[in-house]
Structure 1
Amino acid sequence: MIILCVVLALVAATGNAAASVLQRRAAAAEPAPSPGAGAARARGWRGLVRRPAWLWGAGMLLLSGVAQAAALATGPLAVVQPVMTTELLFTLVLAAVVFRRPPGARAWGAFLAMAAGLATFLLLAAPSGGTETVPPGRWPLSAVPAVAVSVVLGVVGRGLRGSARAAVLGSATAIGFAFTAALLKDGLGTVSGRAGALPTTWQIYAAVAVGLGSFLALQVTLRSGSLAASQPALTLGDALLSVILGVTLFEERIELGLLVLPEAASLGLIAYACAHLSRSPLVSGKEAQRW
């Protein structure tokens, strides 16, 4: 089941990457509207959503959501969310093909470093086991501290500028995405594979609310500073917190002890590679720039 879980998570990550690249492709084909021209902007949006590339991108997002849900239903949270970080790798490759720009030696180096860091972490931590649902009363023990930390990060981020603000807000956003995945996994476990029964669970409504809030927070984060500052916090924060939630909520098991130091080193390698990948125009969306 772990192999199936990893494959589904990789499909979800590929779907996210494809959606990002295709919708950027559609946006690049639209003429830029004049500043302050509301009617022109509205026409631009209407033209955008009619473009095949944008529609294919929307379809890829739907595929990604279904694949992520299936991955969460078949394997540990501590596996699914770290594997989802490969979205950056797939974005680099797909954007290079679509925009016909070679990534460059440094981008490929960051690609290999991130892949190696993720593989090493998963092999050392070896997440396994766990329950399908969260035991009663355990959600508040995790949710209350998470909300408190998110509020503190949001307040601190408002007083910062540039890269520091983007990194702090990125960390707060990562908390929301990790809890969205955990809520979705709990909801799927509650209905035991009966997808039609999902609307009867409170977890699915909580997941939609938290997910929407996280998406809005992401937009603020991306406008606050460079992607190179926010993406490592988003990627590593989501993956690390998901591992913690997998252990504390779903009773998943990971290897610690003497492996803590090499596991921490592999996470550091992921963060380092993520920062470098985020500077690539192919990942950041600035294809016209040189890197």
Structure 2
Amino acid sequence: MDHTLAVALAALGAVLFGLAALRQQVAVLATVTGPRTGLGRLRAFWRLARQPAWLLGAAQGLAGGLAHVAALALAPITLVQPVGVLAVPVTVVASAWAAHRRPTPGQVLGSVLSVGGIAALTVLLLLPATQPVVLPRPLVLGAVVLAATVLTATAALTGGLGGPLLRCATLAAGSAVLFGLVSVLVRLAGQLISSGAVTGQLPLLTVCGLAIVVALPVGLWAMQTAYLTGSAHVVLCCLTLVDPVTAVAAGRLLLHDGVALSGPLLLAAAGCAVVASSGVVLLARAYPADASAAPRPGS
């Protein structure tokens, strides 16, 4: 029952996050003007705090994040994290509705593939029993998060290299890596607290808290910067591909967290992931890479 509730919470979080992404990109493009690289752009982002549209999107994103955290407290990362791909078809429907148009056949097919693949993967991952979490070394955990944070902050500060699509994908991928790692940290902290091991594992819990405080703001900053460079759909597509891969891989390598899949189930799960990823890629190709050409609500 807990795992079913976890999937429902993860799906709710994905819906809220998808709606927040569209709303925030519109606010970013309307507010952050002038220099788009360096400290000038960093200062410009402070003006977003006074924009009601961005604040509403931030509130939606926060609510989605809280739902996702609750899901991680109830189920393994391998089950919860892939559900986030549902944010992509949500943006397709919301963008088409706001622009008073119908989604194209490619967008519909991409949505069906992504939702269908994730639905099948979720059913498969609900079947096996879960494995206990193994506690990592605090220094190893901190080093991994710090390295990813520094690289992502550098990309956000410089604006990335290459054309709009490459810059957008790089920034979105960096933020996705950090979001995936934050999910692992939340999962680990939740396990420590629920098991009553806070006193005995205080150094590890401290590293988790500090890493979340450092990595999450940098990930959010990189995501907002990506909105300036490319469309919200491209950003979300990168997020929903890289985030679960990072979270599942880091969860497996650092925590040994997940479900015990047999050979046939593992192959079936991999096939479902390929189907869902194909849908996400198809959706990404259906939208312009440049933020100035991206569809906006109300347009």
Alpha-carbon distance change, 96 to 206 in structure 1, aligned in 2, over 3 angstroms: same
Q: TM-score, normalised by structure 2?
A: 0.71
The corresponding residue for 1:181 is 183
Distance 2:171 2:92 in 1: 24
**For 2:281, which of 250, 262, 275 is the aligned residue?**
275
Q: CA deviation at 1:188?
A: 2.7
Distance 1:59-1:168 versus aligned 2 partners, 3 A rule: closer
| Offset, 1:204 | 2.6
Distance in 2 of aligned mates of 1:216 and 1:257: 40
1:85 counterpart SS class: helix
* Match runs of 1:34-183 below 5 Å: 45=47, 49=51, 51=52, 53-126=53-126, 128-131=129-132, 134-135=134-135, 137=137, 139-141=138-140, 144=143, 163-164=165-166, 166-167=168-169, 170-183=172-185
Shift of 1:171: 4.0
Provide, for residues 71-125 of structure 1, a one-character-per-residue CA deviation record: whole Å limited to 9, x for no partner. Answer: 1111111122111121112122222333322212211111001111212333344
TM-score, scaled to structure 1:
0.73
Note closer, same or farther for the CA distance 1:276–1:130 as it changes in structure 2 (3 Å cut).
same
CA distance in 1, matches of 2:149, 2:55: 34
CA distance in 2, matches of 1:229, 1:119: 22
Instruction: Note the 1:201-220 alignment, pairs <5 A.
Output: 201-202=205-206, 203-219=208-224
Unaligned runs of 5+ in 1: 195-199
One-letter identity of the residue aligned with 1:270: A
**C-alpha distance in structure 2 between counterparts of 1:217 and 1:46, whole Å:** 15
What residue number does 1:243 align with? 248
Query: Deviation at 1:246?
Result: 3.2
Contact in 1 for aligned 2:10/2:67 (Cα 8 Å): yes
Q: Is the 8 A contact 2:32 2:47 kept in 1?
A: no
> What are structure 2's unaligned runs of at least 5 residues?
197-202
1:266 equivalenced with 2:272 (yes/no):
yes
Following the alignment from structure 1 to structure 2, what is the Cα–Cα distance between the partners of residues 18 and 115? 16
Aligned pair count? 275
Q: Partner of 1:135: helix, strand, or coil?
A: coil
Give 1:84's aligned amino acid.
Answer: G
Distance in 2 between residues matched to 1:33 and 1:214, nearest whole Å = 18
Mean CA deviation greater in 158-167 or 255-264: 158-167
Match status 1:252 vs 2:254 = no
Do the aligned residues in 1 keep the contact of 2:20 with 2:57 (CA within 8 Å)? Answer: yes
| Deviation at residue 178 of structure 1 after TM alignment | 0.9
Distance 1:34 1:216 in 2: 16
Structure 1 SS opposite 2:103: coil
Paired with 2:57 and 2:33, the residues of 1 have a C-alpha distance of 25
Q: What value does the CA root-mean-square deviation take over the aligned residues?
A: 4.3
Residue 243 of structure 1 and its aligned partner are, at CA, apart by 2.0
Structure 1 residues 233 and 14: alpha-carbon distance in aligned structure 2, compared to 1, 3 A threshold: closer
CA shift at 1:60, angstroms?
A: 1.4
Equivalent residues of 1:92, 1:103 under 8 A apart: yes
Deviates more, 1:275-284 or 1:211-220: 275-284
Q: Aligned residue for 1:191?
A: 193
Structure 2 counterpart of 1:197? none
Q: What percent identity do the matched residue pairs reach?
A: 25
CA distance in 1, matches of 2:240, 2:117: 13
**1:227 & 1:26 partners in 2: Cα distance?**
12
